[in-house]
Amino acid sequence: MIRSLFAALILALLQATASAFPDKPIQYTVPFPPGGESDIVARFQQDAFKKMSGKDMVILNKAGAGGGVAWGQLNQSPADGHHITSINLPHIILQPLEGNVTYKTDDIVPVYFYTYTPDAIVVPADSPIRSLADLIKMAREKPGAVSLAGTGTNTANHLAAERLSKLAGVKFLYVPFKGTGDLNPALLGGHVQAAMGYSTTGIQMKDRVRMLAIATPKRLPQFPDVPTFRELGYDWVDGAYRGVAVPKATPPDVRRKVSELIGSINRDADFRKRMVDGGFELIDVPLDGVEAFMTERSTAYVPLAKTMGLVK
């Protein structure tokens, strides 16, 4: 009897150990340089993960091709749940349409979407451009000459720049940068006239920039004086969505464990406060909702993708 109880106890302990997740540090690949929104969120997640599990989340910045380099290498990582990669929409939908990246959208296995950053147009604080109307007037007077910076091509910023051109009936010169860590100094230095950024840009750069408009349903509490695009007559509510993906070979039960882990981080009170204070809008799309969410977003991107020449 004692031996049977002892054997049962050992078996239970072994099973508990085998099912423990995570049981070692997480390697978290961020496809952009340090200092950008994806990197900032990953640092917030890193702190929350350490507090919750006592383990480390090691962040690896692997920039290039607007995220395409890291996403092209995602499936080369071990499919053990301890190697995860940050993903962005519309990037992982638009980039493969152009065909200049080494991955297809179907190669990416999202397990959770946790935030989005609303589109926003910003200019240096000392810019003569005081409003969105000023910017559009300038672009109308000088077609293709007014520079509008963003991060990467076939990205959220690129899509937003095309959306503005289409809605306003003007043409901007879109200037892509590797990430906001590179873009912001160029904007402040006057190398570009305006930038298609996010709500986070206004918080990170504070009184160094002026936000002209933001793509939210209503004004944000942090920016009560900044009008929404809808207020200005443009039907525009959108931004960059961020999530986590795992290698395609990752077993279904491990995918679910990673999804639950990211969901736990997203529910952490300290993490949520840091996100809201930083200008990030929180969303919760777990594994079971990912497929429908991807379909919804893909459908929304098609009209602009056609304008960009990505869809015939």
- Could you report the per-residue pLDDT of 228-278, keeping only the tens digit for each? 999 999 999 999 999 999 999 999 999 999 999 999 999 999 999 999 999
6, pLDDT greater than 70:
no
Tokens of 239: 């931004």
CATH class of the domain at 25-115+240-307: alpha beta
Tokens of 150: 């963003």
Answer for the pair 79, 250: CB distance below 8 angstroms, yes or no: yes
Provide the 10 A C-beta neighbour count for residue 174. Answer: 20
Q: How far are the Cα atoms of 5, 11, 14 from residue 1, in angstroms, in the given order?
A: 6, 15, 20
Interhelix angle 252-267/269-277, rounded to 10 degrees, is 70
Listed by start position, the domains of the chain span 25-115+240-307, 118-214
Per DSSP, helices labelled H in the chain are 2-19, 37-53, 68-73, 91-98, 132-141, 156-168, 180-188, 199-205, 252-267, 269-277, 287-307
What's the pLDDT score for residue 7?
45
123 beta partners = 210
- The CATH number of the domain covering residues in 118-214: 3.40.190.10
Per DSSP, helices labelled H in 156-251 are 156-168, 180-188, 199-205
- Could you report the per-residue pLDDT of 95-136, keeping only the tens digit for each? 999 888 999 999 999 999 999 999 999 999 999 999 999 999
- Could you report the per-residue pLDDT of 135-191, keeping only the tens digit for each? 999 999 999 999 999 988 899 999 999 999 999 999 999 999 887 778 999 999 999
14, pLDDT greater than 60:
no
What's the pLDDT score for residue 159?
93
Q: How far apart are CA 142 and CA 89, in angstroms?
A: 31
Q: Is 25-115+240-307's fold the same as 118-214's?
A: yes
Question: Quick check: helix, strand or coil at residue 149?
Answer: strand
- How are beta strands 173-177 and 209-214 bridged, if at all? unpaired
- How are beta strands 194-198 and 57-61 bridged, if at all? unpaired
Mean pLDDT computed over 61-66: 92
Q: How far apart are CA 69 and CA 108, in angstroms?
A: 13
